[in-house]
Homo-oligomer: A and B are copies of this chain.
Amino acid sequence: MVQLTSTEWQNYLHHEIPITRDQGVEVVRFDDEGVELKAPLATNHNDKGTGFAGSLFSVAVLAGWSQVMWYLARFSIDGQAVVSRSEVRFSRPATGDFTARVEPPGAGDLEEFQRVLTAKGRARLQLTVRVFSGGEEVLTLEGNYAAISV
């Protein structure tokens, strides 16, 4: 897969996963410094006027998946990725627009991911994604992603 810019990745998401367009998902960052996605409260609020749990999760799980896809491109591996498990903690309501940031995995974990994926054609990577709103953390996701080369 060719390495895409933030704008190209956003277009890809909106085209391939159409509900992300309705959610207004924006790709703020998709480069070697990490992945960051944003979504507005206006289209993603719940009955209490705060962020809908399903939308907060969507942006978080998508950020982690985007990070895995970014690594596949960096490793010059044509492949796919899926989330297999996740643990989510909703620590407080999102009272405004919200942003999901992927924590960089440890260098050793990333090397192991690349090594196994190259050798066996499939590998797993655990990522932590944090969602912030108004400067406060509102959700933490621990996601297990599985990648396969095709």
Contact = CB atoms under 8 A, between A and B. Distances in A.
A48 interface: yes
Given A85-B89, A90-B83, A54 B45 contact: no
A84 B54 CA distance: 12
* Chain A interface category by residue count: 35 or more
A110 interface: no
A88 B62 CA distance: 15
Nearest to A18: B43
A52 B16 CA distance: 10
B88 A48 contact: no
Contacts of A3: none
Interface string A63-87: 0010000000000000010111111
Contacts of A65: 53
A65 B52 CA distance: 11
Interface of A: 12, 16-20, 22-23, 43-48, 52-55, 57-59, 61-62, 65, 80, 82-90, 93
